[in-house]
Amino acid sequence: MSTGAAFGGSGGESGHQPEFELLLRLTEVLCELGCMEDAPGRVQFAGLLGGQLRRQVDIRGVKLREDVVSLVTAALSVAGGEHVLVGVVRILEGAPAGDELDRLIAPAAALAGPLSKEDEKSARVALTRGDLPTVRLRDELAEELVGLDLPDGLTPEQLFAHLLEWNTQWDGLPPVVLLLDLAAHVAPTGEHRLALTAWVDDWVRRAGLTAELAQRRQGRATVVRSPDIPRTLVVAVEPAGDGSTDVVVRTWTNATPGRWDPRPGEPDTIPLTDLGRSVDEALQRGTQRWLVPREPELSRLQEPPAYIEFILPYELLNHDVAGLTFAIGDSLPTPLGLRYGVHLRSLERMRTDNAVVRQQWQRRWAALKQHGISVHPWREADARRLSAWQIALAGESRHTAVLLDAPAGASAQALKSAIAEGIGLAVWDRRGVFEEERREVVTAVFAAVALPVQLPSVIHRMRLNAERGADDAVQYLARNIGFFWDDPTRVVDIQTTDPGDLAS
């Protein structure tokens, strides 16, 4: 059973057979995990593992032990892949299970550090010659050391001590040396950059790893930071599936503007009426990272406001999430839409394994960014001929948006069809029928947006003005607008297992 298209790159394959004893130990532990109990869970695990290893991981999805052996073998066939395996277990099964697995592989990583005492001393001197952007350094290092867990909140000197005894990477470069090389990349002063670069260049020359370091630096140079990527709290909500009216809430925080690297929080099962409180708590955790002063390079980005993206199932898309209230300190509660750009995304589409649906989603989004907003019209008569409306949308690839009545009845099915056809932008009047004059207001807003990526900020300003008491037609509509903005380039890892498993 394939988990999807092959991922690019070899991921650092070592070509050797995995050690038999380690293979056996890891297989025994993974066979006991809840995420391995059924075939869909194992397929999800294989997909996430393959994405992190940057190679395709195939399983048959028939026998538990056979699938687990395939997963472990795939991880161990890539140098450092055992750490990636631990990371995937932490995501899908939780930290305790990941820690147990980590203890099994710890003996292989507990080798003496690669730096001599003299190198360690001179490295510390070079590292402390100036201030460094702590959060950015930690995030870029975590991105480079794929699959290895780095604590938050450590200073560069503490990170150095944390990494000092870690074993070398697949290409022979120690994480502590990569720390200094990345520190040179982000250091704000030329003098500090030169000192760090000189130390790293000297060490790799003596270690015979100059070519390997050059390859790392070249790879970093291809990473593009986009001003379109904001600080974001992603909130996925779905019914708990346990017979109650509770919902399961999962959150991710993307703290660094310019780079999409969302980090998951702990899931929670709550009554839907407590959603505002749950989002408030997630915001308090997320803003601890958001409030870190921006580094010079990132501050030059045209940074949009922080966003809250709600990934919702069809039946909750008309829930007034922008109107959820929260309080700062002892102040009165205020709507989320007053402080953050709030928009909606599709849970079903984020979760789909239908390649055609995902391809159409990507193509429509590319057309939106390249050619702008083109609305597929919706009229009262379309509710009586939904099939013709969908066929017309499918036949016109340049259409990138829909304006609909509130998603109920025929309009709900139209929204589902639009999502299936790849539409990433939809607007509706939450109160019900989207009157023609209100459609004209939104169409005028669309026409006034120079770049489609600016639309979430424009909608945020409309909501902000509405809360301030503006009473013109635009702001009156903003109080009741449903804004669907679903970017296929900003995905998160949503579990495909029954949410009732989590609730129970």
Residue 87 contacts residue 98 (beta carbons within 8 Å): yes
Query: Of 188, 177, 48, which is closest to residue 120 (Cα–Cα)?
Result: 177
Residues with pLDDT less than 50, the chain:
2-18, 107-112, 292-302, 497-504
Q: How many CB atoms are closer than 10 A to CB 143? A: 14
Question: What pTM value is reported for the model?
Answer: 0.62
pLDDT attached to residue 177:
94
Q: How far is CA 309 from the centre of its chain?
A: 11
Q: Rounded distance, CA 291 to CA 287, Å? A: 6
Which long-range contacts does 278-281 make (Cβ < 8 Å, 24+ apart)?
A: 278/249, 279/233, 279/235, 279/249, 279/251, 279/308, 279/324, 279/326, 279/336, 280/326, 280/327
Each residue of 265-319: pLDDT tens digit?
889 999 999 998 899 888 887 766 665 444 444 444 445 668 999 999 999 999 9
Q: Rounded distance, CA 106 to CA 197, Å? A: 31
Alpha helices in 94-174 (DSSP H): 95-109, 117-127, 134-144, 156-163
Strand partners, 251: 235
Q: What angle do CA 345, 346, 350 make, to 5 degrees?
A: 110
Grouping H, G, I as helix, E, B as strand and the rest as coil, residue 352 is coil
Residue 327 contacts residue 251 (beta carbons within 8 Å): no
Q: How many CB atoms are closer than 10 A to CB 285? A: 13
Q: Rounded distance, CA 362 to CA 295, Å? A: 32
Three-state secondary structure along 430-470? Answer: CCCCCCHHHHHHHHHHHHHCCCHHHHHHHHHHHHHHHHCCC
> Helix (H) and strand (E) counts for the chain?
22, 12
In which region does residue 432 sit, left (phi positive, over 0), alpha (psi from -120 to 50) or beta (all else)? left
Pairing mode of beta strands 263-264, 307-312 = unpaired
Q: How far is CA 198 from the centre of its chain?
A: 35
Q: How far is CA 204 from CA 113, 167, 187, 190, 201, in A?
A: 15, 16, 20, 21, 5
Q: Rounded distance, CA 440 to CA 431, Å? A: 17
pLDDT attached to residue 192:
94
Residue 404 contacts residue 426 (beta carbons within 8 Å): yes
Residue 205 contacts residue 164 (beta carbons within 8 Å): no
Residue 492 contacts residue 236 (beta carbons within 8 Å): yes
pLDDT attached to residue 504:
36
pLDDT attached to residue 251:
93
Grouping H, G, I as helix, E, B as strand and the rest as coil, residue 296 is helix
Query: Of 416, 412, 427, which is closest to residue 463 (Cα–Cα)?
Result: 427
pLDDT attached to residue 8:
32
Residue keyed to tokens 């066929």: 391
